[in-house]
Amino acid sequence: MSTPPQMLILTKDDGLRNLFEQLFMIRGDTIGIVSNLQGAKTTLEQWVPVTCRLVIIDTAALGTSEVEQQHGACRLLEAWTTQYPMLPVLFLGTILQKYPILAIRTHLVQFIVKPCRLDDLVEALDNLCPRRDFPYSPLYHK
């Protein structure tokens, strides 16, 4: 029997998908990747509260314009704050999207402006979802 996924990633970006696959493989966490909001909602309903430890959302997957993406992210976070108040969420998006999203909830939510540095991403992951029994890796230790 396979291990249930622990991280849900919503992105349409192949580069981000590959980066997260590599990061979480190194961390030893299992992931599920979806490319649309309906897939994220359906998957999350199946996982929470059983296995999901973190949701990562690339706002670019939520619409075609920056404003549409921001509104989609805000609506999503408002709904999930009620449904899943203790679920950590990491957003990746633009500087203009950052503050409206963080105005909704700052508890267990982080926002990284794209393009981002790998160090910033790893730090956000460690803050929101600390590694369990993580073996030494130079990628995570300075």
Q: Where are the domains of the chain?
A: 7-128
Q: Check: CB of residue 35 under 8 Å from CB of residue 13.
A: no
Q: Options 2.40.110.10, 3.40.50.150, 3.60.20.10, 3.40.50.2300; which CATH number does 7-128 get?
A: 3.40.50.2300
The alpha helices in 28-117, defined as continuous H runs, are 37-47, 66-83, 95-104
* pTM above threshold 0.75: yes
Lowest mean pLDDT, pick from 94-103, 120-129, 132-141: 132-141
More confident position, 48 or 110: 110
pLDDT tens-place string over residues 35-91: 999 998 888 888 766 678 899 999 999 999 999 999 999 999 999 888 888 889 999
DSSP string covering 92-109: EE-HHHHHHHHHH--TTE
Q: Check: CB of residue 62 under 8 Å from CB of residue 69.
A: yes
